[in-house]
Structure 1
């Protein structure tokens, strides 16, 4: 029986990236639907859950994507609300690659410490109000780190932290950091820095981290010049620089892609999985 993956996208076009990875993850056919909302997704879900016998439902799955994380979360809720009894299929949410990118990064961060955990570590997620930053902040906090989230707007950072606390029960500290100097101040006492800003936006200069004796691990999720953290390389793969362990976007991106493919494959093992923050991080930690 063919493995069918329905790609539900909140943008006007389905993501080519997500489609390619879906096939590489084992889907036989990927059926894309774009521009979806909670009001329009119900009939599609019904078509997915009513068409195969119970023993065959594991061969149908749903992937939720798009650039807007909040829209994706609303879509996931609508999909789950359509399920009942055993009329359900496995579903994964990875809006803007947020879960897989953050999980791969956090898994590599954990592995960078000899202790294998982040308990009592102070972590700063730079420009952390976007999809990847929010997911990274939640995952770091759940791993025991004391997490701060920076934004150029304190109100924006505060709203994002409040939303994450409400959704996941984690405590996060919002920090206003309007420029590189302010961000250098924000990371002064940190052991971990995870830069998750928009493509091509510099968040720190090399001198802002190279002489910081508190820092132990830094990670930059930006693969587009100029990088988020100056003095790093997109190919850094746990490289030691200035006494710190450094990860670039491609350096941990290999795990991100492998993780994404592994999650797709996992969807077809049973018909009742929901792969979101906790589940995807657990898979990443096992793979790292």
Structure 2
């Protein structure tokens, strides 16, 4: 029986242990990780995956691009695909910093909680300039929501919005929210509030969102106290707080892990799979 080989190309110095564990749980028989992978050096690694097996055996080789930097991962992901030609290709997945699977899970669960559609809803992503926040903003906008992405400095938030709009052909807006007062102000009139901030920072206290009539759903990606959104629990999965539904990081994380494993399994179903935000999100919606 042909072994399922997963090659992990990581833009960080050392391949992610988390991604290795989930890779095995997703069905890989053997994982080989490479660190400090760049667009300039990835070609030789790709060649080793595409020239060694033929026919149906080729689908038992796959590539996973990871690391802590989504922008760097995107460049490697693009370079990998440029190396493919004709039948000389294998399936490949991008999930730098876990951002594709995490954001896909969070948005899919929010859309489900909203009754299957967020079209026309107003959504804000607080501390959204990191990979998970940017992917969440993109996916929400793709669902037809009116999205604002926030950061402590307007230039950084605008750069994130510009990158999202160029990559996903949507119209995400930017806002500067450097403090509690500005964050409390920006969520007024919003229907969905996502928090994608760093560990240890409460972005919105309970009173700010629980007393805002327009808010329907809040979602927080931080599992370590203090949570990004006050007044919820990390384990919340569409828990009702006086008519408002909350998604906590662990509530989202259950689907994220299942999704990550499912994507790994699908890598070995053909030699032509390409799993970036869009395909990963489509699968998340099926699984939510």
Q: TM-score, normalised by structure 2?
A: 0.99
Q: Match of 2:204, SS?
A: coil
Alignment deviations for residues 229-280 of structure 1 (CA, whole Å, 9 cap, x no partner): 1111101111111320001000111000000000000000000111001100
Q: Match of 1:279, SS?
A: helix
Provide the aligned length of Structure 1 versus Structure 2: 287
Residues 1:246 and 2:246 are matched in the alignment: yes
CA distance in 2, matches of 1:158, 1:45: 35
CA distance in 2, matches of 1:48, 1:126: 40
Residues 1:96 and 2:101 are matched in the alignment: no
Alignment deviations for residues 134-168 of structure 1 (CA, whole Å, 9 cap, x no partner): 10000000001000000000000001111111111
Q: Match of 2:260, SS?
A: helix
Task: Map 1:1-288 to 2 at 5 A.
Answer: 1-114=2-115, 116-288=116-288
Displacement after TM superposition at 1:11 (Å): 0.4
Alignment deviations for residues 180-207 of structure 1 (CA, whole Å, 9 cap, x no partner): 2111111101100111111222111111
Asked whether the 8 Å contact 1:118–1:145 carries over to 2, the reply is yes
Q: Match of 2:218, SS?
A: strand
Q: Match of 1:128, SS?
A: coil
Larger mean CA deviation between 160-169 and 100-109 belongs to 160-169
CA distance in 2, matches of 1:225, 1:192: 22
Displacement after TM superposition at 1:94 (Å): 0.3
CA distance in 1, matches of 2:47, 2:55: 14
Asked whether the 8 Å contact 1:211–1:242 carries over to 2, the reply is no
CA distance in 2, matches of 1:202, 1:103: 23
What is the root-mean-square deviation of aligned Cα atoms in Å? 0.7
Displacement after TM superposition at 1:54 (Å): 2.5
CA distance in 1, matches of 2:109, 2:241: 16
Q: Match of 2:193, SS?
A: strand
CA distance in 2, matches of 1:8, 1:2: 19
CA distance in 2, matches of 1:148, 1:184: 14
Larger mean CA deviation between 278-287 and 180-189 belongs to 180-189
Extract unaligned runs of 5+ from structure 2.
none
Extract unaligned runs of 5+ from structure 1.
none
CA distance in 1, matches of 2:182, 2:197: 15
Alignment deviations for residues 38-76 of structure 1 (CA, whole Å, 9 cap, x no partner): 011110000000000132110000000000000000000
